[in-house]
A = this chain, B = another copy of it.
Amino acid sequence: MDGLSEKELIEALLRYRGSGASLPVKNGDDAAVIEAGGKLLAVTTDALVQGVHFEFSYCPPKNAGIKAMESAASDVVAMGGKPSYALIALSAPSDLTQELIEELYGGLEASAKRIGCSIIGGNVVVSAAPLSLTVTVLGEIQGADLICTRAGARPGDLICISGELGRAAAGLRALQKGLPGFKVLERAFLEPRCRVDLVEKLAPVATSMIDISDGLSSELYHICDASVCGAVIDQDRLPTGEDLTELAAKSGSDPLALIFGGGEDYELLYTVHPEDRGAIAGYQIGTIEAEKGVRLKDKAGEVRELPRIGYDHFA
């Protein structure tokens, strides 16, 4: 039998999710939500693996720790939860040094502190390479009406992002290609910050929410699939920093490819009813429509379908 893609693996996994449980949120959202003593807890587990998500050649151990904690916490944030507790499972080769582990956990702890999350447990296995960090995060959601799933977007809702996108992917490219002069973009990759600062502001108004871990395109499709609707993104409204444009030019790529295809920004993608326009944090970049699919309206006003993953330039 042939090998499986990550997508096929995830689909196989999803079939086993939620077996037997009656949960406040449907399977397959950013985090699971459970009830305990009338309180709602969002719970998620997320892995960062050497050779897949980072290499020590361009990502120091401290930053691997930061990325692991921020990306796991971001899933709780995207559900409308405030991360409170984390558990860390480390699988590492036996030639790991004391220095490396101190840096790795230093990064995990620094991020946990920033986010307001306590590291309460973990597990360590000495194994063959690669190093992997699996972080479980729990966080409280203050009420059932504050749960932010992917499923609540309605035609007419405004599509918003909490900050500029594509910057982590651009920073990774600068690091991998050794392009000088892009320190700010590099930091977007090496020191991402989940948007825990926006939970209280956005949870009451977001009709749907997800975090940008895999790029704007696939995250938008996730919202549209779950909400049974479509989306149009207005190219004119996409914020694009000069450094991103410059990096794209120097590395021979399209800034839109970085924005739609690049992940690990951990900004929030969310929708609000037009009446809640005043509560938007960041940028409104488009509108939810009844017609399914995700479309881009370019600067000339032409509308075209976006692929589910990444971005194809219109020939």
Contact = CB atoms under 8 A, between A and B. Distances in A.
Interface of A: 1-6, 8-10, 12-13, 15-21, 23, 27, 31-32, 34, 36-39, 41, 43-47, 49, 51-53, 84-85, 87-92, 94-99, 101-102, 105, 108-109, 112-113, 118-130, 132, 134, 136, 138, 140
Given A98-B1, A105-B12, A18 B118 contact: yes
B96 A43 contact: no
A119 B19 contact: yes
B47 A89 contact: yes
A18 B120 contact: yes
How many copies altogether?
2
Given A43-B138, A129-B128, A132-B127, A91 B19 contact: no
Among A18, A46, A120, A140, find the residue whose CB has the most chain B CB atoms closer than 10 A.
A120
A45 B120 contact: no
A311 to B, nearest CB: 22
A10 B124 contact: yes
A97 B12 CA distance: 11
A91 B99 CA distance: 25
Given A96-B4, A120-B18, A130 B132 contact: no
A52 B126 contact: yes
A102 to B, nearest CB: 7
B1 A112 contact: no
25 contacts: A3-B95, A3-B96, A4-B97, A5-B94, A8-B98, A9-B92, A9-B101, A12-B98, A12-B101, A13-B101, A16-B119, A19-B119, A20-B118, A23-B120, A32-B121, A36-B41, A36-B140, A37-B38, A37-B39, A45-B123, A47-B123, A51-B128, A53-B125, A125-B132, A128-B129
